[in-house]
Structure 1
Amino acid sequence: MSKTTSPLTAATLSRRTLLAGIPAAALVLAGCSANAGTTSTTATATTGATATPSATASGAAAAGSVAALAQAFQSTLSSDQQSTLLQQYSLANAKLWSNLPQGLLSGGMGGAGGPGGGTGARIGLSLGDLDDAQLAAFDTLLAAATGSGAGEGYDEIQQHLNADDYLAANGGGSTYGRANFYVAFLGTPADTGTWELQFGGHHLAVANTYVDGTLAGATPSFRGIEPNAAFDENGRTNQPLAVKEAAFTALLAGLSADQLATAKLSDVYSDLELGPGNDWAFPATRQGVQVSTFTDAQKQLALAAIAGYVDDLADADAQAVLARYQGELDDTFIAYSGTTALTQRNDYVRIDGPSVWIEFSMQNGIVLSGNHPHSVWRDRTTDYGGTQS
């Protein structure tokens, strides 16, 4: 009898092989540290937390809902795995995301006193700890919680996992690869109460927070990728951030010379301003060119750039969030630094609205030659589902 293989198992998954005590030099050789710059921030792990298993996955959940599929995934796990997966819903646990590979975090590279002052590694189960049936159940959950469009949501994440497999096979070693991505449930997946589906690894953070069965927030949402150019891995051609990058370049290319002059930032931005560890640090004054001055065609380009991130959500959720951002579009600002091509190191673009905040920043290569992007989507009111303490 043939066995159906989940996309998550497209590459052979080894058991977790994270290395403890990685020397500091490895942060430069194998992680994505911040680069020196006028206003750079450093991407590290955030607030440390004691992972206290206290949640269950037995509450009422409508058939086919994200909560029900979370419960179905949980039911495939052993009791020990369930204890690792199910964690207390708390801001401290919700902040345990990073752009760095897990091996660098567990090796102490996100420790207090380091750049950014973050502590702690991701919690939950690694994909490398799951068998094929468990991976298939998680795959179904992930598909339901994320967007269905080509190059967005679920498809983008599959390409992202392929990228980390590519890094593992092309100089990165066991620190990289899909086996080093983690899933945790913070709180009880159910139609009542608050819980978060937390999934991430190198260059990826998914943080969907649900309150009484409704998505209350999906940020902070981190996306980065290396390699940035198209590459072949696991039987397909991949370029995970192509949709987002194309939307930003089209937006900047659609502005007039005068608008670009207004949008140009005077500082050099060598990394994200609101990356890991920089929660609710939104600037008091918005910079750049205001979208209210745009033509209708230019406004559509701005909305498309925003949709490149919002469409990572399940389709119905994405429509609701995008409608909110569209209603605030005239009060949103676009700013950039570096070149408008978004191909050179320190090229940077920002969308800053009453609610939405999106940044895209080009970084130098780490494992491979060539530049690669970091990007983050935040929301001034719904980061961490609105939980601030």
Structure 2
Amino acid sequence: MVDRAGEGRRRVADAMAEAARQWLELLGADQQTVAVGNGPSGDAADDGERRRWFYTPTDHGGLTFHQQRPAQQQAAMRLVASGLSRAGYVTVATTIGLENVLDRTEGFTTRGDRERRRDPGLYYLRVFGDPRSGGTWGWRFGGHHVSLNNLVVDGELVSTTPCFLGADPAVSELLGGAVNRPLARVEDLARELVRSLGPQEQRRALLSPEAPADVVTGNRTTIADPPETSDRAVEYTARPQGIAGAALTAGQRDLLRSLLGTYFGRVPEAVSPMAAYDEAALDAVHFAWAGPTEPGAPHYYRVQGPRLLLEWDNTQRRANHAHSVWRDPASDFGLDVLLDHRRRHH
């Protein structure tokens, strides 16, 4: 039997490796020192830098656009594009451009440790290991509201999470009355789903009348249950909260499936898990909401199932500052694959 999923993961991994090689070949020795980190491993100490991730405007680790010439920047974006669908790439590029919009919103202010507070040049790329080896390597691209994390093992792309995309502003005006909403469907499909529920089903889905200030799991490397003393209604637990897909109508299940697509569609179709979500798999997916359901109000939602966690939060800046993340609680950064690989080969 032909392993078409494996073929797709290898094809995308090959494209990534070629793009990474071309980028690295354009870099000088000093640049490569910053651009390359330790190869992925099952050892937390050696692999700690690769497992570090952010979505705030801080040092994400790696070579920034500012540290590269235009041809190098272009090669860097080619590597970024290799891990994204076209729609995913356009969304990432738009998010980077929003730094200019946010800069104007905040009055073109500065920050003590940098010349420019909101800076589209401060996006960081780092390769972990040697993409020319055909073995185990990975790469990370991140900056304000973007974090892409990819792992290749034995020539096959095995992990694309955590995958974070945000937007600030989430809504901004364009000429002629049009609006720029990079994550519009990520928000609107979830709201349409929660508002389609009957009173009893909506009570099951609602975690709290108030939304949390941010995605609940933040930028943790691994996700674990909260302390037993935690009384936060919206806190993450391994046991899913909310309403199960099995309790939804056919139309509501279509909305849930479309919502999954706004996360899984960020990566190339060949590596998207969307095809795995048949009727049985959708039964086990839970949807939960916090906050008011009317447009414009601060709100949060979570979609959770086996090896799946999606979080969305739009509460800051008067609900015009959105965060969204796709995670695999069992294997973010491909940790379970790395551990299995280490047991088999060492």
1:386, distance to aligned residue in structure 2 (A)? 2.5
The equivalent residue for 1:284 is: 238
Q: Once superposed, which parts of structure 1, at least 4 consecutive aligned residues long, lie more than 4 Å away?
A: 61-64
Residues paired across the two proteins, number: 300
1:354, distance to aligned residue in structure 2 (A)? 1.0
Gaps in structure 1 of 5+ consecutive residues: 1-60, 103-120
Distance 2:216 2:308 in 1: 14
**Mapping 1:51-130, distance limit 5 Å:** 65-88=15-38, 89=40, 90-102=46-58, 121-130=59-68
1:82, distance to aligned residue in structure 2 (A)? 1.2
Contact 2:85 2:268 in 1 (8 A): yes
**Mapping 1:351-370, distance limit 5 Å:** 351-365=303-317
The equivalent residue for 1:303 is: 257
CA offsets 1:260-284 (integer angstroms, 9 cap, x no match): 1111114742321211126222513
Which of 86, 94, 106 pairs up with 1:148?
86
The equivalent residue for 1:40 is: none
Structure 1 residues 278 and 123, CA gap change in structure 2 (3 angstroms): closer
Contact 1:222 1:377 in 2 (8 A): yes
CA offsets 1:223-247 (integer angstroms, 9 cap, x no match): 22111113459xx974221231122
Distance 1:275 1:370 in 2: 18
Alignment of 1:131 onto 2:72: no
Distance 2:13 2:240 in 1: 43
Identity of aligned residues (%): 28
Structure 1 residues 144 and 362, CA gap change in structure 2 (3 angstroms): same
The equivalent residue for 1:293 is: 247
Provide the alpha-carbon RMSD of the alignment: 2.5
The equivalent residue for 2:7 is: none
Distance 2:154 2:36 in 1: 18
Code of the residue aligned with 1:160 in structure 2: it is: T
1:204, distance to aligned residue in structure 2 (A)? 1.3
Describe the SS at the equivalent of 1:265: strand
Structure 1 residues 254 and 91, CA gap change in structure 2 (3 angstroms): farther
Structure 1 residues 187 and 266, CA gap change in structure 2 (3 angstroms): same
Alignment of 1:382 onto 2:331: yes
The equivalent residue for 1:192 is: 134
The equivalent residue for 2:344 is: none
The equivalent residue for 1:340 is: 293
Contact 1:165 1:178 in 2 (8 A): yes
**Mapping 1:157-306, distance limit 5 Å:** 157-171=92-106, 173=109, 174-190=116-132, 192-232=134-174, 238-266=180-208, 268=210, 269-277=212-220, 279-282=222-225, 283-306=237-260
CA offsets 1:207-237 (integer angstroms, 9 cap, x no match): 111212222111112222111113459xx97
Structure 1 residues 294 and 273, CA gap change in structure 2 (3 angstroms): same
Gaps in structure 2 of 5+ consecutive residues: 1-10, 41-45, 110-115, 226-236, 340-346
Structure 1 residues 63 and 306, CA gap change in structure 2 (3 angstroms): closer
